[in-house]
């Protein structure tokens, strides 16, 4: 049986603001990644209300995106996704670190996010960046055959992690 290995390319990645023209490529990535993706309208609303909306480009191609809201001393990572062809290259880590620094610079005290308990890769990433579980939202996500809980994770921003 032949094994499949992912070819790694050290091409430089650039994080930049998301624009209306990016929405179709962002939606395409969202649909590849999730069974129950956000709609185009949700992404457009995030841009319209002024959330921190960023894309990461590799060789001029949209390789991923991240969206975060901020207010009342809290940042909330609402969505973070990398195209399957660009995974395992540190892009998600780079996007999340970017959001953390933006939130810290804006004076936010803590950052929150939700993650499916079944998304072990994302959970490992979040824990490696000092997010800790602080709760569970029951039946938060739509899932095949019903609903799936969300783990609520938090990272304090006003102190450096040990």
Question: Domains (ranges, CATH) in the chain?
Answer: 13-156 (3.40.630.30)
pLDDT average, residue stretch 152-159: 92
**Is residue 54 within 8 Å of residue 87, measured between CB atoms?**
no
**Integer Cα distance of 77 and 43 in angstroms:** 14
What share of the chain has pLDDT > 70, as a percent? 91
What integer is the mean pLDDT of 106-118? Answer: 97
Tokens of 84: 């399957």
pTM of the model: 0.89
Alpha-carbon distance of 13 to 92, in angstroms, equals 11
Instruction: Answer positive or negative: Cα dihedral of 60, 68, 93, 40.
Output: negative
Cα(130)–Cα(157) distance, integer angstroms: 10
pLDDT tens digits along 19-31: 999 999 999 999 9
Q: How many percent of the chain have pLDDT more than 90? A: 87
**Whats the size of the chain, residue-wise?**
162
What are 37-78's pLDDT values in tens digits? Answer: 999 999 999 999 999 999 999 999 999 999 999 999 999 999
Which tokens sit at 79?
Answer: 């969505």
pLDDT at 158: 84
Residue 2, pLDDT score: 46
């Amino acid at each position: 049986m032949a094994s499949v290995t992912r070819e790694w390319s050290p091409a430089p990645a650039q994080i930049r603001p998301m624009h209306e023209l990016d929405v179709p490529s962002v939606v395409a990535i969202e649909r590849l990644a999730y069974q129950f993706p956000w709609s185009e309208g949700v992404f457009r609303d995030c841009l319209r209300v002024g959330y921190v909306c960023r894309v990461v480009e590799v060789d001029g191609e949209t390789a991923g995106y991240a969206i975060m809201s901020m207010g009342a001393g809290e940042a909330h990572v609402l969505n973070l996704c990398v195209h399957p062809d660009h995974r395992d290259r540190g892009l998600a880590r780079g996007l999340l670190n970017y959001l953390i620094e933006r939130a810290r610079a804006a004076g936010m005290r803590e950052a929150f996010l939700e993650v499916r308990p079944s998304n072990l890769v994302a959970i490992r990433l979040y824990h490696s960046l000092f997010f800790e579980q602080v709760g569970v939202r029951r039946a938060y996500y739509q899932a095949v055959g019903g609903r799936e809980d969300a783990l609520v994770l938090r990272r304090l921003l006003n102190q450096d992690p040990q």
